[in-house]
A and B are shown apart, each in its own frame.
Chain A
Amino acid sequence: MNIRKIFLNVCIFLMLSTSAVFAKTQIEWWHAFGGRLGELLDEQVQKFNASQNDYEVVHTRKGNYSETLNAGIAAFRAKQQPHLLMVFEVGTATMMAAKGAIKPVYEVMAESGLSFNADAYIPPVKGYYTTTDGKMLSLPYNSSTPVLWVNRDLMKKAGLNPDMSLATWSDVGMALDKAKSSGTSCGLTTAWQSWIHLENFSAYHNVPFASKANGFAGLDTSLSFNSALHVKHLEMMGNWAKDGKFFYAGRRNEGGANFRAGECMFFTESSAGYAGIKKEAKFDFEIRPLPYHAGTKAPQNTIIGGSSLWVMTGHSADEYKGVAAFINFLSGTDIQSKWHQDTGYLPITIAASEKTAADGFYNANPGTDIAGKQMMAKAPTENSKGLRLGSFDQIRGIIDEELEAIWTGSKSAQVAMDSAVKRGDALLRRFEKANK
């Protein structure tokens, strides 16, 4: 009897302890991807979970980029933060300033003992998310840059040669004139107006968006996007809006729906619109480099948009090991190469970009290499490394409001941008104070 009992207990003990060993450590990841991108993200996560037995990544969509960031912040305050948080690039300053809330990626990787080579990542993408001495704070996840999408069928219908040069804004202006006179209702539309027509505009034309190297050099930065060149560009677009050549659909990517439905001829938007456009557009479309103004320092290089993954504090060492494993997985060449080809987002590693070229992808899908070329054509200056401004989501909201005033004609471009600069600077000063 005794021996049986002992035997049974030992068996139970072994079962429980092995099941404890086999219980996977859960890693929570909050992100902003739904639709097709959400499906592809889920694919990555399932692949990782199936590839090993120690860790399980559980991902949740929290809304759009802003909502996801706010959810993460609120969760941190309630001590319920996830392990990984997807934060869009403009939240970088906010996350960097929150030293007690985030665990830098280079630290996570160093502590995990897994190998990690920061130089494997593409410089322009990496530069946004590293400290000035090159230490990586967050893992770039999806990075894109704006390009010009063209509906060739609509161009032909308007009597335009679809191969005509669209390199400068005056070229585009001429095309819009012709289209308008032949009855096209939507010549140009855009997505993410602040990102494309102010932030990237500044980088591409090598003029500052804000002082102190766009905020990289200090918290005491102030905005400077109300210069003559900026105002000239916005005046041009304001006039187009008045003439019905530029159709404003919304602040985020509302214009995407119009373009994909075949209503608009030109569309300035992220290169990552590729996934949606390829799936839905029933017309002949083409990717062109972003136009610039002739007679300026353009074309310099464009900056990235998109998001990176930040690791949050407050978790166990074992869980951080799992995070490190996942980071390594995501940086793998095959994963990155597939992600780039499926979505139009740039591959974050040099190896992935080389593999894509070697696979013949760019030959089979012309124009998909424009984004990469546009970003890496020249070495970045201090105006074109990116932005590091606090409260930037709110500042973008201010910029959007003022731009809308231009499109509806209620303010002139100069007045609107002066107002945006003033209001934005007030927020920058508050951010500086709160994070001293």
Chain B
Amino acid sequence: MEKKVFFRGWFLPILLLSPQLIISIIFFFYPAGQAISNSLYLPDPFGLSSEFVGLENFLFLFNDSYYLSSFVTTIFFSTSVSVLSMGLGLYFALLADRIFKGAGVYKTLLIWPYAVAPAVAGVLWMFLFSSRIGVVSWYLGLLGYDWNHALNSEEAMGLVVLASTWGRISYNFLFFLAGLQAIPKSIIEAAAIDGASFWKRFRTIVFPLLSPITFFLLVVNIVYAFFETFGVIHTITSGGPEQSTTTLVYKVYSDGFVGQDLGSSAAQSVILLVVVGLLTIIQFKYIERKVHY
């Protein structure tokens, strides 16, 4: 939709744009370009010398089983967090939509975890499950189960998924609730008059009408799980044990800043760039369609 009305002149708009442009050029475009060019070099950690190696960093990555498994880890982790937090969010939204009184109170009580930083959520859950002093791990110990997520990969993955899901339910809850409340009551009532039970109505009417939101949330949640969960992983497991909770973003950090292998880290950044680019294109293509609904 083009604006038909506008102001004349070019000096003012360029001036207005310049803060955004300057900052973006310095802190976005230049570093992004550097990431691409750095990926072709093998620098020493101190930055004193670097050797041009072409695509060797990429070859090294594709032959590294740990890098390839970090792809799998990332996909598994993102899907689990997305599905779980969306499922729970939908469940609570359905319940909140059903009741009249108190919906507002429940809403307030359910949305505040959005404000909790993933890193802090990680600290909270790590404290609960800490093998020496955690409440939950102690009670599990009484039941005969020795919880130690520092040594057991499945437990580590379970814990980071749990902590990330916990923080993400509110987001999905809000969207699903808004979506449910946007469904015209008349359709529901008509179906009820026809004798459809709650679950039948859900299956045949509500869920299909929610599908745009569902798909949208799926993409957004996956992107979130890719990036914003760095804090959770860093606080709870540091990517371990045996790199079983190392997602792609975590590996960029751990190889670059901890392992001082800057060539590999840059190459990983470039690959992530491509992956995220694709995901964002999907997301925006989808949003364009949504606008036309």
Contact = CB atoms under 8 A, between A and B. Distances in A.
Interface string B215-258: 00000000000000000000000001111000000000000011
A113 interface: no
B81 interface: no
Interface string B11-46: 000000000000000000000000000000011111
Interface in A60-116: 66, 70, 73-74, 76-77, 94, 97-101
Q: How large is the interface on B (under 10, 10 to 19, 20 to 34, 35 or more residues)?
A: 20 to 34
B47 interface: yes
A94 B45 CA distance: 8
B213 to A, nearest CB: 42
A73 B53 contact: no
B46 A394 contact: no
Contacts of A99: 48
Interface stretch (A126-134, A190-198, A401-409): A401-409
B71 interface: no
B60 interface: yes
B260 interface: yes
B259 interface: yes
Given A98-B48, A401-B242, A434 B43 contact: yes
A120 interface: no
B151 interface: yes
Contact of B45 (A73, A257, A426): A73
Contact of A391 (B46, B50, B132, B261): B261
B202 to A, nearest CB: 43
A214 B109 CA distance: 61
Contacts of B43: 434
Contact of A98 (B46, B50, B243): B46
Nearest to B53: A433
Given A404-B242, A405-B242, A434-B50, A426 B60 contact: yes
Contact of B44 (A70, A404, A427, A435): A435
Given A250-B150, A401-B243, A101 B46 contact: yes
B194 interface: no
Contacts of A408: 151-152
A146 to B, nearest CB: 22
A98 B45 contact: yes
Interface-central residue, B44, B60, B64, B66, by most chain A CB under 10 Å: B44
Interface residues of A, number: 33
Given A394-B261, A404-B241, A430-B60, A436 B51 contact: yes
A248 interface: yes
Q: Which of B47, B257, B263 has the most CB of A within 10 A?
A: B47
A404 B260 CA distance: 23
Nearest to B42: A434
B261 A77 contact: no
A77 B151 contact: no
A262 to B, nearest CB: 15
Contacts of B151: 248, 250, 404, 407-408
Nearest to B242: A401
Contacts of A73: 45-46, 260
Contacts of A248: 151
Contacts of A98: 44-46, 48
Contacts of B243: 401
B257 A97 contact: no
Interface in A405-426: 405, 407-408, 423, 426
Nearest to A254: B150
Interface string B109-151: 0000000000000000000000010000000000000000011
A70 B241 CA distance: 21
Nearest to B47: A77
Nearest to B57: A430
Contacts of A74: 257
Contacts of A434: 42-44, 49-51, 263
B42 A430 contact: yes
B259 A433 contact: no
Contacts of A101: 46, 48
Given A70-B257, A99-B48, 18 more contacts: A70-B258, A73-B45, A73-B260, A77-B47, A98-B48, A100-B48, A248-B151, A391-B260, A394-B261, A401-B241, A407-B151, A423-B66, A430-B261, A430-B263, A430-B264, A433-B42, A433-B51, A434-B44
The 9 A-B pairs at the shortest CB distance, nearest first, are namely A401-B242, A98-B46, A101-B46, A100-B48, A434-B44, A77-B47, A394-B259, A434-B42, A73-B45
30 contacts: A70-B260, A73-B45, A73-B46, A77-B46, A98-B44, A99-B48, A100-B48, A101-B46, A248-B151, A250-B151, A254-B150, A393-B259, A394-B259, A394-B261, A401-B243, A404-B151, A405-B242, A408-B151, A423-B66, A426-B64, A427-B261, A430-B42, A433-B42, A434-B42, A434-B49, A434-B50, A434-B51, A434-B263, A435-B44, A436-B51
Interface of A: 66, 70, 73-74, 76-77, 94, 97-101, 248, 250, 254, 257, 391, 393-394, 397, 401, 404-405, 407-408, 423, 426-427, 430, 433-436
